[in-house]
Structure 1
Amino acid sequence: MLLRRWIAAGVVAVATVGVLSTVPATAGRPHDPADQSLRALGLRHGLYVGTAVDTAALDDPDDPRYREIVRDEFSSVTAENAMKWESLEPTRGRYDWAAADKIVATAQRNGQRLRGHVLVWHNQLPTWLTDGVADGSIDKAQLRQILRQHITTVVSRYRGKIWQWDVVNEAVSDPWDDPPTLHYKGFWAQHLGPGYVADAFRWARAADPKALLFYNDYNIEAFGSGDPADDKTQFVHDMVRDLLARGVPIDGVGSQGHLGTQYGNFDTFQVADALRRFAKLGLATAFTEVDVRSQLTEGVRAGVPDEINPRLQASAANFHVLLQACLAEPRCLSFTVWGFTDRHSWVPGWFDDPPEGLATLYDENYQPKRAYQTVKADLIFAGPPYVLPRVTPRPRR
């Protein structure tokens, strides 16, 4: 299904040279006022604009445009799947580093920073691990040692090459889960208890003293009731505050930013408030997996402009809210989209009842959508006094 003729956006000509600030760029390239890529415009503010990378697309000889956009538009990259446990160690004790190493080499060649994703998550685990726990051949003490060894092995291999690690991912339940009271969820909490979170950060720090260590989760873009019993953002805030009080070396909180145009979502002030409250704990923040999906109604799939255009506008508005809030908080270090083109988006394969899509900055033919132009405009026109240089964090010991 291709929606190219309705999604493709015209080129927006913006006279920007006179208004661009002269904040020095990094990530391998000096600032060039003529460079209007998201990469260059973000680095004016010290903000790294990144993307998750699909290794199959990166390797496709018939798809050079994918590699070009990865190289030219983004200053950081995240391995979409190549650094997850099932990909790295499909057979116990035998690591397959090829795909992850390729992402690292690509980033180094392009002068990009790397976000490591992910060390500890309850999904995409190898079957030897989950089956071993289920049949009793791996007991609690062995499981803890296996987790420690995995973190140590992976972080040590990429020591000095990873800027930010998602150490623990999605450890907290949602209000619609059973029970509805928020709690630590998933495989690791079930078998090791909540103490695994602190352990994971300590083991990661021991393996790399200089990487920034993040807790990463979804639905934490804004505070709600303020009650940790049913407000996930509050629960995460209190969790990381307690980790810090115990001397756990956590450096940041990543808000994934998976949004949908069918929901009410948030305004910039709500999101900026959440980032500010995490920053007050002394933590860096980042948006780590941003996309904004829409329901693919019959009208959308038929190419009806009245159905498509409002969704494209709503998508752009949601990208805008998250990026504005990030720019406004100096401790927000990076803004990463979870794939940049509908051609390689995870959304249609995951959200199929009802079908959803249109979640990224580019359409299936690599044409920039309204969301891309909105993100670009935000980066161009942002500046003092409300957008200030980023605060560079020091990794906690």
Structure 2
Amino acid sequence: MLATSALTTAFPFSVLAEPEIAALRETAAARGILFGSNSDQHFAQAPPAYEQLFTRQAALDAANLSWQDIAPTSADPDALHENDSVDPNVAIAIDRGLRITGAHLLWYLRTPAWIDQLTASQAEAAISAHIRRLAGFYRGHVWSWNVLNEVVEPPQQGPDGLRVNSALVRTLGLNNAVQVFATAFKEARAADPQALLLYNEYDVELDVPWQEARRTAVMKLLDKLQAAGAPIDGLGIQSHLKYKQFGNFREARFRKFLEDIAARKLKIVITELDVDDREAPADFAERDRLVADIYARYLAVILDSPAVAAAVTWGLVDPYSWYNSVYFKDYRRDDHLPQRPLLFDADFKPKPSFYATLHALENAPKRRAVNR
């Protein structure tokens, strides 16, 4: 368990209620940063105040769009049916003036099962058709695409840390995968020339050997993609932080990783920020303070990098977090209390983590906004 004393200096100030809560999107924009969020809760199924809160706070909507959901049964490009039924919040967000971010174009966990029945050349054609249609469908509404999500996994001992337990890699072949991934970026650029194109990865924040191996694999992949001519614009750092592991966060080590990315002329996007609070105290006030400390320490380092173009949280309101979903039982707390990983509570009131985020954005260095 993480010692309480390790997290008490970054966010020491008390929080006073404000008559009107600041909009994070406006605070971020003043520093040249875009702020956004994901929502696993459909607006139509929540109180109206939730949609109002989301669209006031966020400039970006991290949509839930996947190849598996869009084309579950057929490789025929004519059968693809990109529409807003997959994530009904997308149309609402666009109507409210938000832009779309994330929505992985290629992800091993959301690749349709029929890909395994294809030859390598057929799979390449299907990948290209999927990207052209999905990115083309939302062209003009998307700020960034996660073209690739989570394609390294060093424990699987693939070449240069590549994830080998993946339908994409199995079908494409290890020797061909990176070249096809580079082609995926080219297809995305052709389909939507204004969107920022990212590779997205998790567990790269801590100073521990297994995350160092993942950082190394990520850098090798970025170098290979650039060498293959992929029009990659940046790295998405998911930032699913864990209370029980955050004692292994070392500012200097993480800062060096950010500098290595920026040295490759790549932007950085915080794509899925939240805090898994398992093993934190049961008391809500104490737990909220410790979670806020993690937000404060982490954001103070990553937002200091001028390469960071956007910060996206994986949800805004605690009860709608994936950690509290019935589908993710592994994230339940031992005491059966709900997790409190986000910026607002069940009453849509700001928590200490909101103020920690606001403070970090207010103190981030100004940079030129990326408005592609």
**TM-score bracket for the superposition, by shorter chain length:** 0.7 to 0.9
Give the residue type in structure 2 aligned to 1:108: I
User: Secondary structure of 1:201's match?
Assistant: helix
Deviation of 1:52 after TM superposition, in Å, equals: 0.6
Distance, in Å, in 1 between the alignment partners of 2:120 and 2:228 is 24
Aligned with residue 110 of structure 2, among 124, 130, 151: 124
Change in CA separation of 1:96 and 1:203 when aligned onto 2, cut-off 3 Å: closer
TM-score normalised over the length of structure 1: 0.78
RMSD (Å), alpha carbons: 2.9
Aligned with residue 36 of structure 2, among 46, 50, 68: 50
Deviation of 1:76 after TM superposition, in Å, equals: 1.2
Does 2:307 match 1:331? yes
1:284 aligned residue: 267
Which residues of 2 match residues 1-397 of structure 1 at below 5 A? 12=16, 36-54=22-40, 56-60=41-45, 63-79=47-63, 81=64, 83-92=65-74, 93-99=79-85, 102-127=88-113, 129-130=114-115, 133=116, 136=117, 138-175=118-155, 177=156, 182-185=161-164, 186-192=166-172, 193=174, 194-195=177-178, 196-221=180-205, 231-263=213-245, 264-295=247-278, 300=282, 305=283, 308-349=284-325, 351-353=328-330, 355-356=332-333, 357-380=339-362, 382=363, 387-390=365-368, 392=370
Change in CA separation of 1:141 and 1:246 when aligned onto 2, cut-off 3 Å: closer
Change in CA separation of 1:154 and 1:188 when aligned onto 2, cut-off 3 Å: same
Give the residue type in structure 2 aligned to 1:147: I
Q: Can you give the 5+ residue segments of structure 2 that lack an aligned partner in the other structure?
A: 1-13, 334-338
Q: Can you give the 5+ residue segments of structure 1 that lack an aligned partner in the other structure?
A: 1-9, 16-33
Instruction: Please tell me whether the aligned partners of residues 143 and 371 of structure 2 are also in contact (alpha carbons under 8 angstroms).
Output: no
Give the residue type in structure 2 aligned to 1:184: R
TM-score normalised over the length of structure 2: 0.83
Higher helix content, 1 or 2: 2
Deviation of 1:206 after TM superposition, in Å, equals: 1.9
Give the residue type in structure 1 aligned to 2:133: T
Q: Deviations over 1:90-116 (max 9, x none)?
A: 332241502368544333333323214
Distance, in Å, in 1 between the alignment partners of 2:157 and 2:324 is 27
Change in CA separation of 1:199 and 1:212 when aligned onto 2, cut-off 3 Å: same
Distance, in Å, in 1 between the alignment partners of 2:53 and 2:22 is 13
1:18 aligned residue: none
Change in CA separation of 1:153 and 1:223 when aligned onto 2, cut-off 3 Å: farther
User: Secondary structure of 2:275's match?
Assistant: strand
Distance, in Å, in 1 between the alignment partners of 2:331 and 2:131 is 37
Give the residue type in structure 1 aligned to 2:278: Q
1:31 aligned residue: none
Change in CA separation of 1:180 and 1:191 when aligned onto 2, cut-off 3 Å: closer
Q: Deviations over 1:122-165 (max 9, x none)?
A: 112334x25xx2xx4x2222222111111111111112221110
Distance, in Å, in 1 between the alignment partners of 2:36 and 2:171 is 34
Instruction: Please tell me whether the aligned partners of residues 257 and 289 of structure 1 are also in contact (alpha carbons under 8 angstroms).
Output: yes
Distance, in Å, in 2 between the alignment partners of 1:198 and 1:172 is 15
Deviation of 1:42 after TM superposition, in Å, equals: 0.8
Distance, in Å, in 2 between the alignment partners of 1:89 and 1:378 is 40
Give the residue type in structure 2 aligned to 1:271: F
Work out the number of aligned pairs and report it.
Answer: 343
Change in CA separation of 1:371 and 1:237 when aligned onto 2, cut-off 3 Å: same
Instruction: Please tell me whether the aligned partners of residues 27 and 358 of structure 2 are also in contact (alpha carbons under 8 angstroms).
Output: yes
User: Secondary structure of 2:293's match?
Assistant: helix
Q: Deviations over 1:58-101 (max 9, x none)?
A: 122x511210111111121111x2x1112222332241502368
